[in-house]
Amino acid sequence: MEQEINCKVQCVNGCVLGDENCPNKEVREAASKFIEDTSLDKMIEMAEAARLKKLTEPPKWILPDDI
C-alpha cells in the first residue's frame, strides 16, 4: 500500500519516506540526468524559447461558472 504524501508540505527538508521510497525518485533522477547532460547555454536557450512562446500566445480568459 502506497502512502499519500503531500511533498510540497511534508518534504520541505527532504523526503519523509527516505530517498529509496520517494514517490518522485524517477522524476528526480531524470532531472539530475538532464542537468548533467545539458549545457547551461542550451538551458538558457530553451528558457528563452519558452518565454517567447508564452509572450506570443493569446490571453486566456477564465470566466467564473456563476456568470
Does residue 66 surpass a pLDDT of 80? no
Greater confidence (49 vs 24) lies with 49
pTM to 2 decimal places: 0.56
How many angstroms separate the most distant Cα atoms in the chain?
50
pLDDT of residue 22: 84
HSE-CB of 49 using CA atoms within 13 angstroms:
6
Q: For the segment 33-65, what is each residue's pLDDT rounded down to a tens digit?
A: 999 999 999 999 999 999 999 999 998 888 888
Mean pLDDT of 2-22: 80
Could you tell me if 36 and 42 are in contact, meaning their C-beta atoms sit under 8 angstroms apart? no
- Residue 16 to residue 5: CA distance in whole angstroms: 9
